[in-house]
Structure formats: C-alpha cells, structure tokens
C-alpha cells in the first residue's frame, strides 16, 4: 500500500474516532435529563434506587461530569499541532486532565465498579480498568516531570485509550442492539474487551512504529 493511501486511511480512522468520542460526550450530556433529578426508570438507573442515595451518588455525579470532560481534554492534549502551537496550554490542560483522571474519574469509576449492573465478572473488569487507568496516567506524569517526552507520549496514549473504553463499550452496546443480542454475557464481555482489545491495538501500533524507526 502506498504511503499516501496509508495516510488517508489513518486520517479517516482518526476522524471517525474523534466523531465517536464527541457523540458519546453529547449523548452523556443529553442523558443528564435522566440523572438530574435521578429517574429510576431510565436504562442506567433502573434497579439502583435502593442504594443510590446511600453513597453511590457521591461517585456517580462527579463521574458523569468529569468523564466527558476528560474525553474532550484528551483529544486536545493528544493533538501534535496543539502542543506545538501552545506548549504552555498543553502543560496547563495536562495538569487539569491528570488531576481529573486521578482524583475524580478513577476513584468514582472504582467505587461504582462494585455496583456493576451485571455482577462480579463485570465488576472486576471495570475495577481493573480503573486501576490500569490510574497506573498509565501516573507513569505518563512521571515521565513528563523527568522530561522523557517520548515515554510520556506513549503512556498518555495508553491512558486515553483506556478512557476511550467509555466510547467503545457504548459502541459495542449499539452493535449488540442492532444484532439483537440482549444477553448478560454480551455486556459482561464488553466490560473487559472495551479496554483490553484497544490497549493491545495501541501496543501493536507502538511496536510497529518502534520497528519502523529502528529500520530507518
Ligand atoms: C477509568 C476510566 C473509567 C472507569 C473505571 C469507569 C467506570 C464506570 C462504572 C463502573 C460505571 C457503572 C457501570 C455499571 O454499573 O454497570 C460507569 C458509568 C458511567 N461512566 Fe464511566 N468509567 C470510566 C471512564 C468514563 C469516561 C471517560 C466517561 C465519559 C463519557 C464515562 C462516563 C460514564 C457515564 C455517563 C456513566 C453512567 C452510565 C451511562 O450513562 O452510560 N466514564 N463508569
């Protein structure tokens, strides 16, 4: 495949991923209607009335506000041209992003994981996602402070891939609906595959890039 074709395909793929992330952010904002005040007949809150006001809400509300913000900020922070043009803003927004992920999205996701809708296997998948996200953002931050920017970029790409699982899991949910799969196992596998498969994809991409640079 020619280099032009490869570039075109990767530009189309990137645009599609950005559009998907924007769509999930928009849908989340629209679902606030069901969350504020909580509508216990809505898809996500159905069956959660007994424990919602007993602490779950302390994780839920910060999560649904900070989650979409980190998805948007991540898009800005991963942009090479933004970083080149506004390095100071990259640094400032990067601190905000790391703070939101480590102090809000991860702990709230971790706590909510224990109440995962589809039981313990889904719970472990989501708690694993929280732990992996905390690890990647910590490693990325450390590399930035040590001025190892190449390593920093790799960890932050991994971190965004994990945040992006919020998009992938909804995409998988959409596919399930279209295909008429309503089974619990389908949702349970999605709590794992929505972050592990993209993470493997990114590792392969990074390996290929390293190999290419090595060959040159
Ligand atoms: C470390 C990353 C994340 C973890 C561990 C995590 C974890 C969770 C968990 C455990 C739930 C409840 C699921 C259930 O009970 O079945 C949830 C729901 C939710 N999460 Fe996250 N999440 C993460 C990132 C994000 C991001 C980046 C967004 C951005 C859109 C987001 C938006 C939401 C929303 C809106 C809900 C409520 C359900 C809905 O309206 O679809 N999360 N999350």
Q: What is the pLDDT of residues 109-165, one digit of tens each?
A: 999 999 999 999 999 999 999 999 999 999 999 999 999 999 999 999 999 999 999
Domain membership of residue 131 (yes or no) is yes
- Ligand 1 center from residue 126 Cα (angstroms): 9
DSSP 120: H
Please indicate whether residue 74, judged by its CB atom, sits closer than 6 Å to ligand 1.
Answer: no
pLDDT band, very low/low/confident/very high, at 182 (cuts 50, 70, 90): confident
- Ligand 1 center from residue 216 Cα (angstroms): 42
Whole-number pLDDT of residue 216:
60
Domain membership of residue 94 (yes or no) is yes
Domain membership of residue 31 (yes or no) is no
The Cα–Cα gap between 56 and 112 comes to: 7
Closest protein CA for atom 42 of ligand 1: 67
Domain membership of residue 48 (yes or no) is no
Tokens of 214: 């090595």
Please indicate whether residue 39, judged by its CB atom, sits closer than 6 Å to ligand 1.
Answer: no
Cis omega (within 30 of 0) for bond into 201: no
Please indicate whether residue 68, judged by its CB atom, sits closer than 6 Å to ligand 1.
Answer: yes
Domain membership of residue 7 (yes or no) is no
Total structural domains within the chain:
1
The Cα–Cα gap between 99 and 76 comes to: 16
pLDDT, tens digit, 9 for 90 and up, residues 57-90 = 999 999 999 999 999 999 999 999 999 999 999 9
- Ligand 1 center from residue 110 Cα (angstroms): 10
Tokens of 97: 């992003």
Average pLDDT over residues 194-199: 98
Domain membership of residue 207 (yes or no) is yes
Residue 172 belongs to domain spanning: 58-215
Please indicate whether residue 70, judged by its CB atom, sits closer than 6 Å to ligand 1.
Answer: yes
Domain membership of residue 188 (yes or no) is yes
Domain membership of residue 51 (yes or no) is no
Whole-number pLDDT of residue 161:
98
- Contact in structure between 136 and 162 (CB atoms under 8 Å): yes
Please indicate whether residue 112, judged by its CB atom, sits closer than 6 Å to ligand 1.
Answer: yes
Please indicate whether residue 71, judged by its CB atom, sits closer than 6 Å to ligand 1.
Answer: yes
């Amino acid at each position: 495949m020619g280099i032009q074709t490869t570039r075109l395909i990767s530009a189309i793929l990137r645009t599609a991923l950005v559009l998907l992330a924007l769509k999930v952010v928009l849908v989340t904002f629209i679902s606030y209607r069901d969350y504020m005040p909580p509508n216990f007949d809505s898809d996500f809150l159905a069956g959660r009335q007994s424990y919602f006001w007993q602490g779950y809400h302390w994780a839920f509300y910060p999560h649904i506000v900070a989650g979409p913000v980190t998805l948007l900020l991540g898009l800005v922070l991963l942009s090479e041209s933004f970083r080149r043009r506004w390095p100071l803003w990259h640094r400032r927004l990067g601190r905000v992003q790391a703070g939101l992920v480590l102090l809000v999205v991860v702990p709230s996701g971790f706590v909510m994981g224990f109440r995962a809708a589809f039981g313990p296997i889904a719970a472990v998948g989501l708690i694993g996602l929280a732990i992996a996200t905390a690890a990647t953002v910590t490693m990325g931050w450390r590399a930035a402070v040590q001025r190892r920017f190449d390593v920093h970029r790799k960890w932050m790409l991994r971190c965004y891939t994990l945040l992006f699982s919020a998009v992938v899991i909804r995409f998988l949910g959409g596919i399930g609906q279209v295909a008429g799969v309503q089974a619990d196992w389908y949702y349970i596998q999605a709590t794992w595959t929505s972050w592990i498969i993209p993470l493997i994809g990114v590792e392969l991409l990074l390996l290929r890039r390293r190999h290419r640079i090595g060959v040159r």
